[in-house]
């Protein structure tokens, strides 16, 4: 009995010490990200988390004098995670919308985007006009998901099938379980550039802008917004764009132009 009690006490002591060690080394900023969202945040061949937004957030942390830790989170879970305080901020090519601004805050945007339709080259699908009765894949809760639901009747889309990220959607596309995939155009152009069996057949104009998401009213959003202004002025974000997309960012885009923090309606 005494030995059992001592053993349990020892285990508890070890557990508490481990928790203390974790707390002592916890990062200043925990950043939710849907890892696998190329080229924004994904793992390279060595398992290191890399990407446009990874580089951006790491630099922001450096300018604020804070350490950064990325937490792999499904896209749809990012919203509740920032609202509950489980993470300090979130990235994953998150589009600023008036609806989202009702419950979260964003720093100024740094990327202008649209949606797109990706299919297999062998499918013979040339665009949305050919998607009547077809199965389309989208990312759960994304703007692509919203667009597909809103235009389902206009294009006579068949079933809308939801995925937690690009990789599982691409597997189903190649396997023929879906006929097309609607998602952010930069991610898809990057993904298919070395895959001749897939192609982006249509750009869907939505006028989206990406930014970093925070809990509603979090002062950190204003701090980060100020750093983004500085990084734009220095040309840092434009250089990131060139490194990741192989082209220069246009001066009128949010990658270069300093903009106000979005306030919503």
- 124 has a pLDDT exceeding 80: yes
CA pair distance 20, 39, nearest whole angstrom: 35
CA pair distance 197, 192, nearest whole angstrom: 8
Quick check: 166 and 183 in contact, CB under 8 A? yes
Whole-number Cα distances in Å, 8 to 3, 18, 20, 22: 9, 15, 18, 21
| % of the chain surpassing 90 pLDDT | 87
pLDDT of residue 15: 42
pTM value?
Answer: 0.82
pLDDT of residue 246: 85
| % of the chain surpassing 70 pLDDT | 90
pLDDT of residue 9: 39
Give the residue-averaged pLDDT of 216-220.
97
For the chain, list the domains and their CATH numbers. Answer: 10-112+209-245 (3.40.190.10), 113-207 (3.40.190.10)
Quick check: 123 and 177 in contact, CB under 8 A? no
Span 51-80, pLDDT tens digits: 999 999 999 999 999 999 999 999 999 999
């Amino acid at each position: 009995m005494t030995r059992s009690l001592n053993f349990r006490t020892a285990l508890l002591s070890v557990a508490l010490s481990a928790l203390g060690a974790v707390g002592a080394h916890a990062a200043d900023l925990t950043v939710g990200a849907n890892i696998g969202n190329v080229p924004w945040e994904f793992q390279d061949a060595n398992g290191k988390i890399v990407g446009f937004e990874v580089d951006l957030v790491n630099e922001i942390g450096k300018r604020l004098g804070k350490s950064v830790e990325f937490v792999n989170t499904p896209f749809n879970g990012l919203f509740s995670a920032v609202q509950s305080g489980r993470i300090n901020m979130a990235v994953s090519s998150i589009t600023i919308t008036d609806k989202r601004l009702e419950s979260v805050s964003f720093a100024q945007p740094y990327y202008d985007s649209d949606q797109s339709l990706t299919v297999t080259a062998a499918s013979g699908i040339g665009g949305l006009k050919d998607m009547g009765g077809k199965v389309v894949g989208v990312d759960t809760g994304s703007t692509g998901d919203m667009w597909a639901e809103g235009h389902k009747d206009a294009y006579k889309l068949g079933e809308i099938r939801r995925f937690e990220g690009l990789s599982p959607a691409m597997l189903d596309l190649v396997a023929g379980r879906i006929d097309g995939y609607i998602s952010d155009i930069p991610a898809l152009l990057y993904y298919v550039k070395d895959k001749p069996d897939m192609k982006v057949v249509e750009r869907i104009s939505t006028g989206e802008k990406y930014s970093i998401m925070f809990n509603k009213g979090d002062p950190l959003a204003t701090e980060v917004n100020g750093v983004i202004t500085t990084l734009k002025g220095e040309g840092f974000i434009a250089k990131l764009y060139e490194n990741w997309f192989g082209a220069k960012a246009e001066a009128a885009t949010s990658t270069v132009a300093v903009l106000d923090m979005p306030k919503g309606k």
